[in-house]
C-alpha cells in the first residue's frame, strides 16, 4: 500500500481498513454495524432539568366483558297505611265517614267475637267474605289464640283484621287495674308473636267496660268499641237456632254505620252469605277496618250486654 508522506497516521489506518473490507471474501457477511442508540427524549444531563415523565399513548377502549354497572336501586319503602276515611262515633259506636261528601254513609262494619274455635267454620266465613269482597274484625280471646294459633295466622293471611277480646272473656268492669292490664296486654303480645303486629281494636267481653279498661286500651294503641247492631246469635242454642233469624235480627236494626256484632257459631256461618247479599241489595257497603281512624274521644263508656 502506497502512503503519502502528508497522510497522517489515523488517516492511513482508515484507508487500510477500507482496503481490507474490499478484499473480503464474497461469501463472508459484512460486519454488522452497531445501531445508534435511540434519540433521547429528555434533556441531557448536566442541564439541571429533570427528565420528563414518559407519556404512553392511550390504549383504545375495549368493551368490558363484565356487566355494566347497575344504577343503585332506590331504598325499599315502608308500606303506607291505608287512608283513614271513616271514624267511630264514640257514643253510639256507629261507623261514619270523615268526609260525608266523599265517602258513603250507607256502610256497615262486620265483626265476629269469641274465636278462634273451629278451622272449618273460619274457612267458611272467610270464603263468604271473599265472595262479597268484605273485610271484618275478628275479636279473639287469648286462651283460644293459644289453642288455635293456626286459625289466627289464617285470618291474617286472608286479609282480615284481628281484634283483642281479652284473655279469659271475663267481665272486666269488675276487675282491678292489675287484672285489666294483664287481660289486654297478654292478648296483644300473643297476637304480635303470631302475625307480627298487635291488634288495633278492642272489644270488652259482654260489652262491659270501665274507665280503667278504656285507659288500658288507649295505652295499648287500640280503639275501644262495643257495637250498635246485635245479631242476637248468642241467644240461640243448638236446639233452637235459625240462620234466617240471625239475618232477620240484623236487618231489623239496620241503619247507616251499623257496627254489627256476630259470633263464630254454626248458624251464623250459615246465615252469613244470605245476610251480606241482603245488605248489598239494600245498597250497603262494607267498611275495611284499616280505613277506620283509631281515635276515641269518648268521656264515658256505654255498656251493652252480650256474652
Enumerate the active-site residues: 113, 263
Strand blocks (E) in the chain? 86-88, 95-97, 107-115, 136-140, 161-164, 201-202, 223-224, 229-230, 258-263, 285-286
Kind of pairing, strands 223-224 and 201-202?
parallel
Q: Answer for the pair 103, 97: CB distance below 8 angstroms, yes or no.
A: yes
For helices 266-281 and 119-131, angle between their N-to-C axes, nearest 10 degrees = 10
User: What is the C-alpha separation between 14 and 7, in angstroms, rounded?
Assistant: 11
The helices-and-strands tally (H runs, E runs) of the chain is 8, 10
Which backbone phi and psi does 195 adopt, to 5 degrees? Answer: -120, 0
Identify the bridge partners of residue 44 per DSSP, sorted by sequence position: none
User: What is the C-alpha separation between 109 and 257, in angstroms, rounded?
Assistant: 7
Alpha helix positions (H), 158-202: 177-195
**Nearest of 119, 64, 111, 101 to residue 207 by alpha carbon:** 111
Q: Give CA 198 to chain center in angstroms.
A: 15
Identify the bridge partners of residue 84 per DSSP, sorted by sequence position: none
Q: Answer for the pair 238, 265: CB distance below 8 angstroms, yes or no.
A: no
Which residues are within 8 A (CB) of 240 and not within 5 positions of it... i.e. 6 or more apart? none
Amino acid at each position: 500500500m502506497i502512503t503519502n508522506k502528508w497522510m497522517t497516521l489515523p488517516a492511513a489506518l482508515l484507508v487500510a481498513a477500507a482496503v481490507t473490507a474490499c478484499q473480503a471474501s464474497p461469501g463472508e457477511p459484512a460486519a454488522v454495524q452497531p445501531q445508534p442508540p435511540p434519540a433521547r427524549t429528555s434533556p441531557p444531563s448536566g442541564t439541571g432539568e429533570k427528565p420528563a415523565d414518559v407519556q404512553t399513548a392511550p390504549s383504545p377502549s375495549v368493551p368490558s366483558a363484565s356487566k355494566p354497572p347497575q344504577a343503585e336501586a332506590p331504598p325499599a319503602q315502608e308500606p303506607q297505611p291505608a287512608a283513614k276515611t271513616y271514624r267511630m262515633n264514640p257514643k253510639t259506636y256507629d261507623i261514619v265517614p270523615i268526609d260525608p261528601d266523599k265517602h258513603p254513609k250507607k256502610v256497615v262494619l262486620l265483626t265476629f267475637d269469641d274465636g278462634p274455635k273451629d278451622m272449618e267454620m273460619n274457612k267458611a266465613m272467610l270464603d263468604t267474605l271473599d265472595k262479597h269482597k268484605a273485610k271484618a274484625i275478628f275479636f279473639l280471646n287469648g286462651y283460644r289464640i293459644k289453642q288455635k294459633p293456626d286459625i289466627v295466622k289464617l285470618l291474617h293471611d286472608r286479609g282480615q283484621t284481628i281484634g283483642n277480646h281479652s284473655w279469659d272473656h271475663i267481665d272486666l268492669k269488675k276487675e282491678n287495674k292489675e287484672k285489666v292490664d294483664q287481660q289486654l296486654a297478654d292478648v296483644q303480645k300473643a297476637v304480635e308473636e303470631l302475625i307480627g303486629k298487635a291488634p288495633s281494636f278492642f272489644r270488652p267481653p259482654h260489652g262491659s267496660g270501665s274507665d280503667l279498661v278504656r285507659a288500658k286500651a288507649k295505652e295499648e294503641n287500640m280503639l275501644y268499641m262495643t257495637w250498635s247492631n246485635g245479631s242476637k246469635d248468642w241467644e240461640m242454642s243448638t236446639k233452637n237456632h235459625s240462620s234466617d233469624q240471625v239475618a232477620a235480627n240484623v236487618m231489623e236494626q239496620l241503619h247507616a254505620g251499623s257496627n254489627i256484632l256476630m259470633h263464630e257459631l254454626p248458624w251464623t256461618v250459615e246465615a252469613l252469605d244470605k245476610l251480606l247479599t241482603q245488605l248489598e241489595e239494600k245498597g250497603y257497603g262494607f267498611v275495611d277496618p284499616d280505613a277506620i281512624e283509631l281515635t276515641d274521644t269518648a268521656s264515658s263508656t256505654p255498656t251493652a250486654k252480650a256474652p
